[in-house]
Amino acid sequence: MSNSHIDIPRLMIAALRGGSGKTVISIGLIAAISQQHKTVAPFKKGPDYIDAGWLAMAAGRPCYNLDHFLAEPIDVCRSFLRHTASAKADIAVIEGNRGLFDGLDVDGTTSTASLGKLLQSPVILCLDCTKSTRTMAAVVLGCLNFDPSVNIQAVILNRVAGNRHESILRTSIERHCGVKVIGSVPKLDQEDFPERHMGLIPTPEHALVAHSIKTAAETVNRYVDLKAVLTIADEAAPLTTACSEKEYEARIVPVGSKHPKIGIIKDSAFQFYYPDNLEALQAAGADLVYVSPMFDNGLPDIDALYIGGGFPETHAPQLAQNLALRESLKSAADNGLPIYAECGGLMYLGETLVLDTQYPMTGVLPIVFGFSKKPQGHGYTMVTVDGENPYYPVGTHLRGHEFHYSHVLEWKGKARDMVFAVQKGRGVVNKRDGICYKNVLATYTHVHSLGTPQWAEALVRVAQRMG
């Protein structure tokens, strides 16, 4: 297969660690570039929902996740090409995750740096300069020499204390590293970007989203050389890829001729959905119907239901109070409605969520959840399907991600009710995951349709049989 050369202005925002402020910088850059009447295609490296939501709001279009653990590198590259093309983007902005070289192994095979190399993207390094000056030059020099094939083009200083602090940082980095400093951002007001146990407050819950994004754009316009940023993106070398245009079109095709209605539980309580997953359901032939578990009086006329992750713990009183929806969902599950649930959706299908008091959930599954101050599952997962279920053949290997503070207080089911054997990750209990009841499958593992295309096809196929 001959290589294609595709000219896409692009850049990646990276940092030395999580919590360095790169998300706010990325939000500001995307919003500021958009203000120049340029179309920005936003991307987030890794299995992230919250940051991706903010980037999407800043760009005014969906933000897609690029993760070469969840999907094969060639499929990640195809996704990048497909979504930049469909947006008719003037520029693609990719926000990295964690530290630039942090990955699952000593080779950094799933790191931001490796994604940068895959997409041949120039990198702008966002440095948290809190209580540090000349040492940051040594850090940047270390990054440059650690892997010279990573194309670090510039540095943005973040959380700078004042003019003197900036001067020492700027001079030290440019003199010793030969890398240009293109921005110096002071510490921002925390009220503009409030955080919670999983990071930034998700956009559906933050009443001042537009104000926060406007503030981030103003900050970038004031403290970052935006012209230099755009020049770096414009001068990115043409992306060399083994994909042709036809090959990077979506691979999922309609399953049969029926168009089943698949309900999506979605409001501020349940908001963790990859855009790729919803689009995959539509590509497989589904019509999506959105349902609010806090405000709707019952399930609409649907053929299947998808419940993603979210924050049932912060909305427990409202979820518990909506008895009509809870009873409607329980009855539908008992009558065989296909339901696929992930993480927060799994919690909602349980009997009770115990926080400061006990909050009844839908009672579909015989399980009681509590909540911890520290993460109980955090990172990539690998599971093997070893039990019969409506969605995956026995023997299927799945790669996914889990991130939750909830834990199981009481499991009243049987071992055979769980159909996933966990090789990596925590799962529900005893290295088991994937609770199956009739046509319900609920799991802590989030899957991404780019790496698990059979997920959408299976859900649509089961829904068609119900329609």
Q: Does position 248 have pLDDT exceeding 60, yes or no?
A: no
| pTM > 0.75 | yes
Looking at the DSSP bridge assignments, the partners of residue 368 are 352, 410
3-state secondary structure of 465: helix
Annotated catalytic residue, options 77, 126, 143, 343: 343
Is 198:54 a contact under the CB 8 Å cutoff?
no
Locate CATH 3.40.50.300 in the chain: 4-241
Least confident of 93-107, 251-265, 293-307, 445-459: 251-265
CATH 3.40.50.880 in the chain, residues? 261-466
Tell me 313's DSSP state: T
- What residues have CB less than 8 Å from 230, skipping those under 6 apart? 9, 33, 91
Compute the distance between CA of residue 310 and CA of residue 441 in angstroms, rounded to an integer.
17
Helix (H, G, I), strand (E, B) or coil at 190: helix
Helices 22-35 and 50-59: angle between axes, nearest 10 degrees? 20
Give 288's contacts (C-beta < 8 A, 6+ positions apart): 261, 262, 263, 264, 278, 281, 282
Hey, what are 140's tokens? 């940047």
Average pLDDT of the residues of the chain: 92
If you count them, how many residues does the chain have? 467
pLDDT at 188: 76
pLDDT digits (tens, 9 = 90+) for 308-324: 999 899 999 999 999 99
Closest by Cα among 362, 363, 351 to 322: 362
Tokens of 130: 């809190």
Indicate if 343 belongs to the active site: yes
> What is d(CA 160, CA 188) in angstroms, rounded to the nearest whole number?
10
Task: Please report the pLDDT score of residue 196 as a whole number.
Answer: 42
pLDDT in tens, 361-390: 999 999 999 998 887 888 999 999 999 999
Question: For the domain with range 4-241, which CATH number is right: 3.40.50.10300, 3.40.50.1010, 3.40.50.300, 3.30.420.40?
Answer: 3.40.50.300
Return the C-alpha torsion angle 362, 368, 336, 427, nearest 10.
Answer: 130
Q: Which of 185, 157, 161, 186 is nearest to 172 (CA)?
A: 157
Domain 261-466 class? alpha beta
User: What's the pLDDT tens digit per position in 380-426?
Assistant: 999 999 999 999 999 999 999 999 889 999 999 999 999 999 999 99
Q: What is the spatial distance between Cα 373 and Cα 399, in angstroms, rounded to a whole number?
A: 26
Token pair of 4 as six digits: 């294609």
